[in-house]
Amino acid sequence: MHKPVLKDAVIEHLVHKADGLYLDATLGGGGHSEAVLESLNDDGALIGLDQDEEAIARCTERLARFGERASLHLSNFRRVREVLDDLGLPGVDGILADLGVSSFQLDEAHRGFSFREELEGPLDMRMDLRRKTSARDLLRGIKQDELEWVLRHYGEERFAKSIARVIKERIQDGGMHTTADLSEAVRAAVPRRAWPKNIRVETRTFQAIRIAVNDELHALEVFLEQALASLNPKGRLAIITFHGLEDRIVARMFKTWASKQQGPSKLPIVGDGRIPDAVLVNRKAIQPTEAEMDENPRARSARLRVVEKVEKP
């Protein structure tokens, strides 16, 4: 069973109306959605989105006991406003987005997300299987200098140049078909003495390629703008990130909306007399406890940030 990270913190900071309407923009395994629905009364409801058909199927079964209170839709979270418009809803009382890769995606070899040897699979990495370009397609079509840029900027990989070179050389030799092929290329390109101690040496490369395949950072920026516009006054937006690139985008956007105001307030005023769009619910990102990380190691890099939309006159 998928274990939702920071579940208690999400419920504490997101759910502020027992009869409210909430939206989970990234259903994944459905753990957060289930917890939200359990915290609501019979008048409360949840809309769930995911771009992965397998996630929709799993969550349909998991959330079946809530009946019509759970409405699930196959959609990328960058289309949140479109989904609400189709449903005739001007806004919701809270929105959650967990930006991590779901456990079932990581643990199923045919999805091609994992570098674990026992989960060798095709180089796919598509969260939405309707997308045309897989990781294998991307690596074959991209130029070496462009691949180096992807690895350096999306993976923050300091050996991006040598990794990109080895990958392209192996493609030219007819290789690079599986996740194991990609792992071997990374290990060959990075000197053994430079392998990180706390993560696998392939981690940053797999992250970078996954982000590029799914256009994740641009999708996040589009989603954030739509999410704020989709909240009712005093509605809350909660985002869970798992790496620095995502977290910096979220933190920067939240800071722009809040204009340095801290903590929910009826009518905050910034220094120039302008009313901000939102206020920060938590001053610093909330991190998992030691106990949660021991129980669920995948939670170790999770960060939760929450803002509340300001009710303007």
pLDDT at 2: 64
pLDDT at 313: 76
Could you report the per-residue pLDDT of 76-97, keeping only the tens digit for each?
999 999 999 999 999 999 999 9
262-280: burial string, b at 16+ Cβ within 10 Å, e else: eebeeebeeeeeeebbbbb
Could you report the per-residue pLDDT of 5-57, keeping only the tens digit for each?
999 999 999 999 999 999 999 999 999 999 999 999 999 999 999 999 999 99
Going by C-beta distance under 8 Å and a sequence separation of 6 or more, which residues neighbour residue 215? Answer: none
For helices 179-189 and 160-172, what crossing angle results, to 10°? Answer: 130
| Mean per-residue pLDDT pooled into runs of 10, the chain (313 residues) | 86 97 96 97 98 94 97 96 97 96 80 90 93 96 98 96 98 95 97 93 96 96 96 97 94 88 52 79 93 89 96 83
Residues facing residue 249 across a β-bridge? none
- Max distance between CA atoms of the chain, in angstroms, equals 65
SS3 238: strand
Radius of gyration of the chain from Cα atoms?
20
pLDDT at 261: 47
Q: 3-class secondary structure for 4-56?
A: CCCHHHHHHHHCCCCCCEEEECCCCCCHHHHHHHHHCCCCCEEEEEECCHHHH
For residue 30, give both structure tokens: 């459905």
Q: What is the pTM of this model?
A: 0.89
pLDDT at 153: 96
Q: Which helix (H) or strand (E) holds 255?
A: helix 244-258
Q: Using CB atoms within 10 A of its CB, is residue 74 exposed (0-12), middle (13-18) or buried (19+)?
A: middle
What DSSP assignment string belongs to 153-220?
HHS--TTHHHHHHHHHHHHHTT---BHHHHHHHHHHHS-GGG--SSS-TTHHHHHHHHHHHHTHHHHH
For residue 61, give both structure tokens: 């079964």
Q: Which helix (H) or strand (E) holds 245?
A: helix 244-258
